[in-house]
Amino acid sequence: MGGNHIRTKTVFLAGHAALPQGMAAKGPYEHLAVVVEIDSKYGVIINAECTLITDLAINFLHDCLVGCCMEDGVDAIISEIINTYHGAAKNAIIASLKDLNRAYIKYKGM
């Protein structure tokens, strides 16, 4: 990467939550991290990843998040997770999204 490049079009934010006991992801990670790249002007999520173990779970969450606008909060995303994600990490994902929303509010208040 170049030395003087300043990234102003997107912002990286993360939300974290503890994983439940007995999960596959609990081995390498104690906490779930949901990380997003957000368009800094409009608040739209343009990329998302998480520390879940399986590619399917990671891609599922990615598809739920990309295109959503953080300006609208995370209630609609949480509703989608509640209705469609039935894995052991559901509550950790929801908690991570709430933490992500707090991070976004803090960023916007800068």
Q: Within 13 Å and on the Cβ side, how many CA atoms surround 10?
A: 11
* Domain 10-108 falls under CATH 3.40.50.10380: no
Does pTM surpass 0.85?
A: yes
Mean of the pLDDT values across residues 4-29?
77
Percent of the chain having pLDDT more than 70?
85
Calpha distance 65→100 (Å, rounded): 12
pLDDT of res. 11: 96
Domain boundaries, the chain: 10-108
Q: Which of 13, 9, 29 is nearest to 102 (CA)?
A: 13
Of the chain, the end-to-end C-alpha distance in Å amounts to 26
